[in-house]
Amino acid sequence: MSKIAFIGLGNMGGPMAANLLKAGHQVTVFDLVPAAVKQLTDAGAASAPSAKEAAANVDVVITMLPAGKHVEMVYLGEEGLLNTVAPGTILLDSSTIDATTARKVASAANEKGVAVMDTPVSGGVAAAAAGTLSFMCGGSEEVFSQAKIILEAMGKNIFYAGDHGAGQVAKVCNNMLLSVLMVGTSEALRLGVDNGLDPTKLSDIMLASSGRNWTLEVYNPYPGVMENAPASNDYQPGFMVDLMCKDLGLAMDTAVESKSATPMGSMARSLYAAHASKGNGQKDFSSIIELLGK
């Protein structure tokens, strides 16, 4: 088993670190929120007073941070991990950030001879807890083969997307498509209900027809249709609207850089931004159906 430092114990990072413990790894954690740290230490993890100290003398460092600026600070700052980790340590950043920052960190790591890979995730809080996340990895194939053994303790689908930054690009493409599917599914369900159809029966019809998609299959946005979906629990917990707005912003920035046409993604971003502006940022993203209500 490996010695692992896990930095960033939010809604996703906490369950991910817990699954590493369940797999038998020796885990040291760091987070700015004491309660998040305590939850992991109660489960058997060690803790450290700083990211730098957590990453000392470990085999692997995993970071799960809110945004690119935080990733840049943790890796490239004065006390950054690239200046402090021992040779041979593998650095895996599972944050969802812009590909430019991921490549910047990778370039600095290469200069120091440190192995790094961007490994953003998909699946949400439920998959993080269940250990069934999908990882989209960018970096060298050699590092990927080493990282995969660790990532398999937290996910069931581990993909190699390409060179540094490719994992981040794959993630924003996936989430852009997810947002479009959720808006389309919500529109269709709302249209049916507004015309007298039962949402459960309509969902069953579409699931057996050409409109079938992931949001209908496992994450239905209409309350009461799917017992375990956030929609049936006042849109809690889940993948927050604010986070979907963030990811769609990254997708639009990526599209600008590559001069790609993303009209559906752009419309989805506008709709989610409008939904967030009405005080719904903390709700699950499937609550977009409320924006479409009469």
Q: Which of 3, 22, 112, 171 is catalytic?
A: 171
Q: Residue 132, SS3?
A: coil
Q: Residue 74: CB partners within 8 Å, gap ≥ 6?
A: 7, 51, 63, 65, 80, 81
| Residue 69 is a catalytic residue | no
C-beta separation of 80 from 110 below 8 A: no
Give start and end residues of each alpha helix (H) in the chain: 13-22, 34-41, 51-54, 68-76, 99-111, 124-130, 141-151, 166-194, 199-207, 214-218, 241-258, 263-275, 288-291
With b for 16 or more beta-carbon neighbours within 10 A and e for fewer, the 127-162 pattern comes to bbbebebbbbbbbbeebbebbbebbebbbeebbbbe
Report the candidate in 190, 263, 68 with the shortest Cα–Cα distance to residue 271: 263
C-beta separation of 226 from 286 below 8 A: no
DSSP category for residue 95: S
Q: Which secondary structure element, helix H or strand E, spans residue 134, and what is its range?
A: strand 133-138
Q: Residue 12: CB partners within 8 Å, gap ≥ 6?
A: 64, 94, 121, 125, 128
Describe the crossing of helices 263-275 and 241-258 by its angle, rounded to 10 degrees.
150
Catalytic residues: 171
